């Protein structure tokens, strides 16, 4: 086992940081600490960067583990894309436009915005939204205004659930399904009845009621791995960060001289090492954080284990022909939630059936289906896609497979806000990051990037270092 030198920060030119975890939070923290002039090593247990947002090969196809989208209001993730030179590869639609297909009535509606100021930007779309009655549309408008008036800083909001608040504000089951859950399930990874009012209010206020363009949707036109692994690695290399993959940290402890020892044991891929650091950012999921955090770093470390997780399931279907003209749509009255055209991003045209199309069906809050066998999912979803997409009825299915992420996000249940720790721990020089930490955002790429910025910012401030090119809004 090798060990790095143990000189004090005064004797060394630059203070040393070790970031554990190469998801978006860890990559961000590493970039930000390097931009702030620190000597940074990033350690990631897997053979790639990107954490929960990654790609893999299936034959010639490049597959994302799950469809990821972001909104124009995700300013930190947009900063991240810019920082890794990836903005042009994950553009945002010019104006919010979501096709919403009612499977039972076979009717298409659209959630669109205009250039008018908030809340008028959505008024026309709501007024003509065919999936709700006139009374329901009026009530939705009223509830949106009530939501706008909520104070996100009020901790009581986190204690109650969004579903009961919607019912109290006159929302019918249909309005919840056709509007509130349509957006909420995809962004929160929970139905309204199981989501914290605080997090739901944050999503709807920020996305739909802050700025006319806030909810315009962006998504990668290339595999996620090209952004979060390839381009991120390039940015880390040019920032001078040493990145070590297949390097799983097993312990973090305080040394006698007040520094940190980060231990990687010997294994099939690693010769083992102990790194000495002035600053450690632990950017791993909550359970791993619980196991690695030294005692006393948080007041009640065991509370991290109360932050539950929620699954997301993706069904991938390769057809022999084009069955969907839109880049994506969402469905009502169907088990299908959101469907995306993945043809270009996956490289299907170079390798698959000529003129074929690859769709990803993204199923959030998938507790009931996450462990179902592929055959059962195939039997349920292929006929359902045929019901929604007439062109799929005569099409041949070349491939059908499933990606299951059982711990895709933290569960946004009422009360979760009180369990999410801030970046700064009680142990000097030790910080936590991750989408699950106290960013105020649900478990998103935005939350992950914000958490990485907050951790780096706190570390740099403690050391009296300049903040480099840090994203300003997050800290």
Ligand X SMILES: Cc1cc2nc3c(=O)[nH]c(=O)nc-3n(C[C@H](O)[C@H](O)[C@H](O)COP(=O)(O)OP(=O)(O)OC[C@H]3O[C@@H](n4cnc5c(N)ncnc54)[C@H](O)[C@@H]3O)c2cc1C
Q: Which residues bind ligand X (CB under 6 A)?
A: 20-26, 43-46, 51-53, 65-66, 68-70, 248-249, 283-285, 288, 312, 314, 405, 408-409, 434-435, 443-446, 448
Name the minimum Å distance from CB 51 to ligand X: 2
| Cβ nearer to ligand X, comparing 175 with 190 | 190
Tokens for 226?
Answer: 């090209």
Name the minimum Å distance from CB 67 to ligand X: 6
- Enumerate the H helices of 84-180 as residue ranges: 123-127, 134-148, 156-159, 162-168, 173-175
Name the minimum Å distance from CB 273 to ligand X: 13
The sign of the dihedral angle between the CA atoms of 326, 97, 334, 379 is: positive
Q: Is 405 left (phi over 0), alpha (psi -120 to 50) or beta?
A: beta
Name the minimum Å distance from CB 89 to ligand X: 16
- CA distance linking residue 460 with residue 452, whole number of Å: 12
| Cβ nearer to ligand X, comparing 26 with 99 | 26
Name the minimum Å distance from CB 399 to ligand X: 19
| Cβ nearer to ligand X, comparing 27 with 140 | 27
Name the minimum Å distance from CB 124 to ligand X: 27
β-strands 357-363, 309-319: how paired? antiparallel
| Cβ nearer to ligand X, comparing 39 with 446 | 446
Tokens for 231?
Answer: 């381009």
- CA distance linking residue 465 with residue 210, whole number of Å: 34
The sign of the dihedral angle between the CA atoms of 369, 325, 120, 72 is: positive
Beta bridge partners of 424: 431
Name the minimum Å distance from CB 128 to ligand X: 27
Give φ, ψ of 379 to 5 degrees: -65, -35
193 contact partners, CB below 8 Å, separation of at least 6: 161, 162, 163, 164
Burial of 94 (0-12, 13-18, 19+ CB in 10 A): exposed
Cα end-to-end distance, the chain, whole Å: 37
- CA distance linking residue 297 with residue 286, whole number of Å: 14
β-strands 217-219, 357-363: how paired? unpaired
Omega of the bond leading into 119 within 30 degrees of 0 (cis): yes
Name the minimum Å distance from CB 281 to ligand X: 11
């Amino acid at each position: 086992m090798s060990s790095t030198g143990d000189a004090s920060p005064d004797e060394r030119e630059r203070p040393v940081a070790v970031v554990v975890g190469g998801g978006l939070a860890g990559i961000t923290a590493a970039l930000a600490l390097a931009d702030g002039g620190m000597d940074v090593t990033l350690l990631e247990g897997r053979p790639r960067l990107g954490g929960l947002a990654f790609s893999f090969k299936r034959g010639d196809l490049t597959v994302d583990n799950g469809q990821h989208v972001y909104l124009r209001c995700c300013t930190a993730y947009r900063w991240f894309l810019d920082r890794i030179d990836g903005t042009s590869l994950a553009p945002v639609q010019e104006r919010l436009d979501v096709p919403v297909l009612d499977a039972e009535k076979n009717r298409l509606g659209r959630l669109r915005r205009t250039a008018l100021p908030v809340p008028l930007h959505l008024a026309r779309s709501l007024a003509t939204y065919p999936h709700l009655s006139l009374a329901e549309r009026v009530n939705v408008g009223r509830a949106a205004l009530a939501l706008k008036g909520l104070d996100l800083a009020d901790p009581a909001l986190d204690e109650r659930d969004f579903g009961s608040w919607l019912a109290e504000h006159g929302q019918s089951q249909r309005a919840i399904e056709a509007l509130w859950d349509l957006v909420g399930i995809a962004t929160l990874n929970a139905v309204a009845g199981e989501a914290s009012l605080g997090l739901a209010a944050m999503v709807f206020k920020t996305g739909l009621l802050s700025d006319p363009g806030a909810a315009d949707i962006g998504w990668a036109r290339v595999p996620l791995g090209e952004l979060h692994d390839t381009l991120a690695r390039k940015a880390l290399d040019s920032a001078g960060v040493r990145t070590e993959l297949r390097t799983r940290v097993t312990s973090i402890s305080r040394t006698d001289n007040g520094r940190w020892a980060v231990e990687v044991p010997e294994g099939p891929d690693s010769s083992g090492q102990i790194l000495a650091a002035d600053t450690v950012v632990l950017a791993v999921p909550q359970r791993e954080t619980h196991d690695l955090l030294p005692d006393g770093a948080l007041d009640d470390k065991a509370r991290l284990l109360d932050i539950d997780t929620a699954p997301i399931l993706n069904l991938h279907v390769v057809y022999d022909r084009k069955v969907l003209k839109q880049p994506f749509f969402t469905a009502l009255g169907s088990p299908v939630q959101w469907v995306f055209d993945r043809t270009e991003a996956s490289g299907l045209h170079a390798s698959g059936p000529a003129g074929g199309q690859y769709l990803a069906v993204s199923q959030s809050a998938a507790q009931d289906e996450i462990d179902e066998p592929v055959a059962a999912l195939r039997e349920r979803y292929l006929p359902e896609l045929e019901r929604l997409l007439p062109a799929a009825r005569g099409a041949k299915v070349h491939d059908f497979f499933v990606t299951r992420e059982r711990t895709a996000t933290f569960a946004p249940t009422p009360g979760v806000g009180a369990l999410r720790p801030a970046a700064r721990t009680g142990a000097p020089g030790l910080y936590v990051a991750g989408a699950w930490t106290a960013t105020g955002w649900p478990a998103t790429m935005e939350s992950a990037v914000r958490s990485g910025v907050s951790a780096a910012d706190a570390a740099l401030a403690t050391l009296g270092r300049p903040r480099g090119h840090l994203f300003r809004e997050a800290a």
